[in-house]
Amino acid sequence: MTSPVNIIVGSHVWAEDPVSAWIDGQVNRIDGQNVHIQTTKGKKIIANISKVFPKDTEAAPGGVDDMTKLSYLHEPGVLQNLATRYELNEIYTYTGNILIAINPFQRLPHLYDTHMMEQYKGAGLGELSPHVFAIADVAYRAMMNEGKSNSILVSGESGAGKTETTKMLMRYLAHLGGRTGVEGRTVEQQVLESNPVLEAFGNAKTVRNNNSSRFGKFVEIQFDRSGRISGAAIRTYLLERSRVCQISYPERNYHCFYHLCAAPPEEREKYKLGPPESFSFLNQSKCYKLDGVSDAEEYLATRRAMDIVGISESDQDAIFRVVASVLHLGNIEFSKGKEIDSSGIKDDKSRFHLNTTAELLKCDPKSLEDAMIKRVMVTPEEVITRTLDPEAALGSRDALAKTIYSRMFDWIVQKINNSIGQDPNSKAIIGVLDIYGFESFKHNSFEQFCINFTNEKLQQHFNQHVFKMEQEDYEKEEINWSYIEFVDNQDVLDLIEKKPGGIIALLDEACMFPKSTHETFAQKLYQTFGKNKRFIKPKLSRTNFTIAHYAGEVTYLADLFLDKNKDYVVAEHQDLLTASKCSFVASLFPALPEDSSKSSKFSSIGSRFKLQLQSLMETLSHTEPHYIRCVKPNNVLKPAIFESENVIQQLRCGGVLEAIRISCAGYPTRRTFDEFLLRFGLLAPEALEGNSDDKVACQLILDKMGLKGYQLGKTKVFLRAGQMAELDTRRSEVLGNAARTIQRQIRTYIARKEFVSLRHAAIKLQSCWRAISACEFYAELRRESASLKIQKNFRRYIARKSYLTLQDSAVRVQAGMRAMIARTEFRFRKQTKASIKIQAQWRGHREYSYYKNLQKAALVTQCGWRARVARRELRMLKSAARETGALKEAKDKLEKKVEELTWRLQFEKRLRTELEETKSQEIAKLQEALHSMQIQVEEANARVVKEQELARKAIEEAPPIIKETPVLVQDTAKIDALSAEVENLKASLLSEKLAAEEATKACSDAEARNTDLTKKLEEAGSKVDQLQDSVQRLEEKLSNSESENQVLRQQALTMSPTGKAISARSRTMIVQRTPDNGNILSGETKTNNDLTLAIVNPKEPESEEKPQKSLNEKQQDNQDLLIKCISQDLGFSGGKPVAACIIYKCLLHWRSFEVERTTVFDRIIQTISSSIEVADNNDVLAYWLCNTSTLLMLLQHTLKASGAASLTPQRRRSSSASLFGRMSQGLRATPQSAGLPFLNGRTLGRLDDLRQVEAKYPALLFKQQLTAFLEKIYGMIRDNLKKEISPLLGLCIQAPRTSRSSLVKGRGQANAVAQQALIAHWQSIVRSLDAYSKTMKANYVPAFLVRKIFTQMFSFINVQLFNSLLLRRECCSFSNGEYVKAGLAELEQWCLFATEEYAGSAWDELKHIRQAVGFLVIHQKPKKTLNEITNELCPVLSIQQIYRISTMYWDDKYGTHSVSSDVISSIRVMMTEDSSNGVSSSFLLDDDSSIPFSVDDISKSMQTVDVADVEPPPLIRENSGFVFLHQRAD
C-alpha cells in the first residue's frame, strides 16, 4: 500500500486522523513533502505526502460488495466501503473470496430464513449479495464436485459474532444435506444444543467480551457420497488451562464456577459451597457477576442443556462434584514444615477444604495431602520420598486443578460427540473452525502469547491461500505474475516455535530448572533474540518483551510465564485419582503403563499448545479453506455505531489488510475492458473510432498515457498500485479543461442576456412613467367635476333622508304596538296548546316506555333461555360427534328442525291467508254499508225534493184562505220531519265515514303486519335452505364414513380364517339394505312403464345380490375394448373431449358407480398414468388435463355418497311430506330427472337432466384419484413452463452491459440493433407463453385452468424478478429499471393479446416488480416524501422492501441520488417499530406452488357438457356392446 506520487492541488484524498483513523478532504497546497488538506469536517490539517491516499469521488454511494472492485484498494478505501455498507445494514462484504462479517448487534431474521437459503442454493460466489450462506454453498459445491474436504475458518475478536456465524453456517449446511438425527433431532440441532454446555465450561469473561470462548472449536460435519449429512464431531483445541488458577481484573474464571456458586441452596449445601468471593481461584479478580446475566438461571439452563445432549443425572452430579472440588482445592494453603524445604497444611480452614476436596473426589484425605506435598523419586538403588516447600506445593496444587479440569472438559466433549454420532465411513467433511482472534491488551500475558501464536499460524495459512487465489486469477487471465513477491510471516513463527532456540523451547527449559525466575527467563530472551528484527526489548522494563506480529507490535509481561506454563504430569496425582471410588473421576485418569507411573514427567502447556496447533494445521492442510473474518464495529455492543479506529485494528488483526498488501504487491486495480473504456475512453477518443476490439482500444489509451508495468488479460485490465490514481488525475485534467470551456461560453451567454434584458427594461420603464403622468392629470380633472355633482346630490339626500326617517319612525311605532298585542295573544294560545301536547306526549311516553321495558325484558329472558338451551345442545352435539352415530342423530335433529320450520312456515302462510281474507271481508262489509248509506241519503234527498215540489204545487192550487192554515201546518210538519231525517242521515253518514277511516287504518296495520310476516317467511325460507344444505352435507359425510367402515369391515372379514362365510353374510345384509336405500325413489315421481327393470323389481334380485366384481366375459371384453380405445388420442368433438365423454357414458351405463368392487376404475387410472409418463410432452399433458377436468366435472354433478337413505327410511318418508320434501319433489319433478333414461336404453342429455347416482366406495375413490391426477397434470404443465422460462428470467433481470459502440457517435443503426438484442430474452418468454397458450387452446383446456396457470406463472415471474432485484445491487440501477420496464411492457402486450378469458388477472400478479421498477426509473427521488413513496409509488411494497431498494439504488445513467436521508431515517424508525411488534423483517417474496383451485371451483366454472352428441370412435362404433353410445336423448 505504497503512497502514490501523483497527488496534485485539488485532489480528493484520505489522510490519517487520530480519532476516526482516516479523514477525507481536498488538497489546497503542496509544500515539498507536506500536503495542506481542507477536510470535509471543516478543519485544516498538514500531512506527509507518503501517508496520503487518493479518494475515489465516483465510488457508488452504497459501496461495493467486493472490495477487489474498488478503484483504490487501500486501507481508507476499505474502511469507508465497510462503513457505508454497515450504515445500510449490509453487514457482509467480500474481499475476493474472503467474507467480512460485521456484527450488527441486532436480530436480522430476514437474512437467515429458509427462503434466503433457497436463493443462495447453487448460486455462484459473487452472483448474489455477499452472505455467509454463499461461503457455505461454495464449500459444499466444491466438496460435491471435487470430492475433497473443505473447511471454513471463522475468526475475529471476542464479541465479533463468530459463534452466531458458525451457527448460520451449520444451519445452511443442514439445509443442503439435512438428515434427521437421533430422536427426531437433526445433526445440526444436536451440535447447536451442545453450545450451552461448552460455553458453560469453556467460556469466560475477558476484557472485551462477557462470553469469550477460551478454546478453539472445530466442528466436522460429515457427509456421505450423496451429499447428505451422515454425522458430526466437535474437536476442541487449545483450552486455556491456566485460567483455572490465575485470572486478573476485570476478567472472570470459567462460567461453570460461578453458576455452581449460584445453584439452589440444597445443591450448594451438597457441595459445601459459599459465594464466589470465598474461593481463591475466583477472588483474584473482583468481578463476580455479569450485567444482565443471572448465574442461578444459567446453572439451571446448563443442567437442561446437559440433559439434552445425553449426559445422565449421575454424570452431571459427578461433573459438578469435580467443579466444586477444584474450587475447594484452590483454598488449600501451605506453610513451612518442621524440616527444611518441607511444608504442611497451613490451618484448620485449609484442612477443611482438603477434607471437602477428598470427599468430593472420593479419595483418601491423607493421600491427597501427600500427593500435593510429597514426591517419590525412583533410583536404581531405592525409592526416595521427599517433601516440597510451600511454593512447590502450591505449584503442585495448581497443576492438579488444571489437570482435573482439562480432563473433565475433554470428557464432556467426548460425551457430546458420542451423543451426536459420527460416521466412520464418511467420504468428505466440511469443517467449521471457531477460534479466538488476535489479542492485544494493555497487559498481555502467557494466554495472549499462545493465542497470538495460533493466529500467526492461521495467518500464514491465510496468506498462502490468498496468494494462491491471486495466482489463479492471474493464470485465468493469462498474464505474467512470476515476479510478484509473496509476503510471509515465517520469521515470527521461527522466533516462537523453532527448536531449540525458540521462545517456547526457552520457556520449557526455564521451567525445568527450579531456580529459574521470570527475570532470568527474560534475560535469556534478550540475549538470544537481541538482534532479531521481530523481537524488541522495551527500554524501561527488565522483564517485558515485544514481538512484531503481522497485526502489530504486542508487549508481553513475562512475570507469570513460568507459572502458567508449568503442567507437570505427577505420578502421585495419577495414582490418587485413579484409585478414586468415584467411577467418573477414575475414568478421567485411567491407569498408566507400569514404567511411566513411577516417576513424574515434565510437561508444559506451551509444548502441548504447540502440538495441538500442529494437529489443527495438519487437519486444515488436508482441506480446501474458506475464510470468514468477523468484525466488532464498536465496544459498547450496540447497533448502528461504527468505530473506525476499532474496526481498522480488527482488520489488521484479522489479516484482511495483509491480504490487501498481497493484492497490492501484484495488480490491485482490475477493470473489465468495457468498464475501463467507459471511464477512461475520453482520454483518447481516437482510440474508440474505428476500433472493434476493446482490448486494442485499452492498449492505445494506456500507451498514450505512458504507463508501464500494466497487464492486459483476456477480459480485464490489470493496473499496478498508483496507476489508477494517475489515470484519474489525467481524466480530471481533461474534464477540468472541458468544464472551463463550458463555463466560459455560459458566462458570455449570461452577460449578453443580462445586457439585453436591462436595455429592454429601461425602455419599458420610460414608457410606463409617461403613461402614469397623463393618467394622473386626467384623474385630477375628473375629481373636480365629480365634486360638484357629489355636493348637489348629498344635499338632496340629507333632506329626503330626514323626511323618510320621520315617516318610518311613525310607522314603526304603530307596527310595534299592534305586534305586541298580537304576540301576547299568540303566546297565550301557544302555551295552552303546548301544555295540552306535553300532557299527551308524557302520557304516551310513559305507557310506551313501560311497554318497551316489558318487551326488552321478555327478549332478554328468551335469549338467555335459548342460549342456555343452545349451549346444552352444543355440548350434547360435541359429545355425540365422537362416534359415527352422532351424524345420524344430528341429521335426525336437523330433519326435525326442518319439519318444525316447515310447520311454522305453513302456519305463517295460513295466518297470512286468514288475515287477508278477514281484511277483504271487512273492507267488503264497509263498502256495502257505505253504499247503502249513500243510497239512503240519495233516497232521502229525492223524497225531500219531491215533498217540496208537492208542497209548492199544493200552495199554488190551494182554494181560498180558509184552508190555507191547516195545509201550511201540515206541510211545515212534513218539512220538519224530512229535515230531521236528513240530519239523521248526515249523522249516520258521518259515523260511517269514521268507521270507514278506522277500517282503512286497520287495513294499513294489517298490511304492515303482513309485510313483517313476509320478511319472517323469507328468513324462515333461507334458514330452511341452510338447514337443507347442512342436512345434505351431513348425509354425504355419514355416507362416506359408512362406505369406509363397510370396506374396512369387508377387508377385515376377508383376512379372517372364516372370511368366506362371514363375507357372504355381509353381502347378504348389504343386499337387504339396497331396496331401502332406494336407488329410484318411487315417492318422488310417477312410475313409467319403461322403468320395469330388474333393479326395481324385488322378484328379480340377481343383479343386486351378485357382486359386480364377478363380471362375465362379455363385460370384461367391453372393458378391455374401452381401455384400448382411451389409450389412443381420440381428439375432440365439437370442443368436447371424446375420451372423457365415452368413459363417463360407459361407466354410467354399466352402473360401475353403484357396485361394491370393480377393477375398471383402477384400469382407467393406470391408463392415464402411463399416458403422462413423459413429463415434457405438453401436448399430451394438455390433452389429459382437458379430459380429466371434464370427467371430474361430470362426476361432480352425478355422484353422491351412498348410504344416507338407508339409515333413517322413516325419517326420510316423513320429511318428504314436509316443505323440504315438497321442494325436493318440485326440483326433481321432470320425467328426465326421475326416469333414469340410461336404464331403458336411452342415453344422457344435458347435465341438468341427470339425477345423482348414489356412489359406492370405489367410485368415490376413483373421483379422489382423478382429482389427484388433475392436480398432478396441472402442476406438471406449470412446472414445465417454469423450467423453460427460469433461465430466461436470470437474463431478464439485468440488462446486458452497454457495448463500447454506444460510446461512439453516428451509430444509430447499431444502437437499434442493440436495443432489439436487449429485448430478445423477454420476447423468448413471450414466445414460450404463446406456445403454451396455443397448446392448451388446441386441446380445449378449460379457460378457468388456463387462467390459473398463467396467473401462477406471472406470480412466479414477479417473485423471481423481485427477489433477484433485491439481492443483487447491480440490478438496482436506473438503466436496469428501464430495461426491466421495457420487458414488462412486452408481457403487458401479451396479456392484452391473450384476452382476459385466458390471461385473467395475470398482469396484476406483477405488481411488486412493476412498482419496484417504477421507483427505479422515476426522477427526483430526493424530493419524494415517505408518504408519497408508500401511498402513491409503492403501496404494495412493505417498508423493508422499500428500504432495501432505496439503499441499494444507484444511477448509472445520470448520476442522480436515491431518496433523502430524512426518508431513510423515517423508514428505519418504522422498521424498528415493526421488529419490536413482531412483524417479519423479510424483504423477499415466497413462490406459491400450491394448487389454486378445488373440485367445486372446476364444477362451477366449466360450462355444461352435452355428452349425448359425442360420436363414438371407430374402434367401438360397430361393437354390439356399445350400442348405447349411438342413441340420443329425447
**CA 151/CA 310 separation, integer angstroms:** 28
Q: Are 431 and 619 in contact (CB under 8 A)?
A: yes
Cα dist. 400→241, 576, 1017 in Å? 11, 11, 95
Integer-rounded Cα Rg, in Å, for the chain is 51
**CA 111/CA 124 separation, integer angstroms:** 18
- As given in the structure block, the three cell numbers for residue 326 are 477444584
Q: Pick the catalytic residue: 77, 156, 159, 606? A: 159
Instruction: Give me the residue label for grid cell 464418511.
Output: 426
Is 1458 annotated in the active site? no
What single letter denotes the amino acid at residue 1207? L
Q: Pick the catalytic residue: 11, 213, 619, 623? A: 213
- As given in the structure block, the three cell numbers for residue 723 are 496507476
Q: What DSSP designation does 11 have?
A: -
Q: Determine what percent of the chain falls in helix, strand and coil, rounding each to the nearest 5.
A: 65, 10, 25
**Three-class secondary structure assignment of 1308-1352:** HHHHHHHHHHHCHHHHHHHHHHHHHHHHHHHCCCCHHHHHHHHHH
* Residues contacting 815, CB < 8 A, separation 6+: none
Is 163 annotated in the active site? yes
Q: How many CB atoms lie within 10 A of CB 669?
A: 25
What single letter denotes the amino acid at residue 1184? W
Q: What are φ and ψ of residue 1406, in 5° steps?
A: -90, 20
Q: Are 1338 and 1129 in contact (CB under 8 A)?
A: no
Strand pairing partners for 378?
383
* Residues contacting 281, CB < 8 A, separation 6+: 244, 245, 247, 253, 257, 326, 327, 330, 401
Q: Which of 275, 298, 273, 294 is nearest to 286 (CA)?
A: 275
Q: Pick the catalytic residue: 63, 96, 431, 437? A: 437
**Three-class SS state of 439:** coil
Q: Pick the catalytic residue: 439, 470, 895, 1284? A: 439
Q: Which of 1097, 1077, 1073 is nearest to 1087 (CA)?
A: 1097
**CA 959/CA 955 separation, integer angstroms:** 9
**Three-class SS state of 552:** strand
Is 1490 annotated in the active site? no
Instruction: Give me the residue label for grid cell 333461555.
Output: 865
Q: Pick the catalytic residue: 95, 209, 253, 1363? A: 209
**CA 1528/CA 1530 separation, integer angstroms:** 6
Is 343 annotated in the active site? no
**CA 1065/CA 403 separation, integer angstroms:** 81
**CA 1033/CA 1028 separation, integer angstroms:** 9
**CA 420/CA 954 separation, integer angstroms:** 141
Q: Are 289 and 276 in contact (CB under 8 A)?
A: no
Is 992 annotated in the active site? no
- As given in the structure block, the three cell numbers for residue 1292 are 431478464
Is 1400 annotated in the active site? no
Cα dist. 1235→820, 1096, 1225, 1230, 1239 in Å? 93, 12, 13, 8, 8
Cα dist. 852→673, 841, 1251 in Å? 91, 16, 53
Q: Are 1034 and 894 in contact (CB under 8 A)?
A: yes
Name the pairing type of β-strands 374-378 and 383-387: antiparallel
Q: What DSSP designation does 1430 have?
A: I
Q: Are 621 and 148 in contact (CB under 8 A)?
A: no
Q: Pick the catalytic residue: 163, 580, 600, 669? A: 163
Is 437 annotated in the active site? yes
**CA 277/CA 270 separation, integer angstroms:** 19
Q: Pick the catalytic residue: 71, 81, 158, 194? A: 158
Q: Which of 137, 199, 704 is nearest to 412 (CA)?
A: 199
Q: Which of 549, 558, 546, 525 is nearest to 445 (CA)?
A: 558
Is 541 annotated in the active site? no
For the annotated catalytic residues, the residue numbers are: 158-159, 163, 209, 212-213, 437, 439
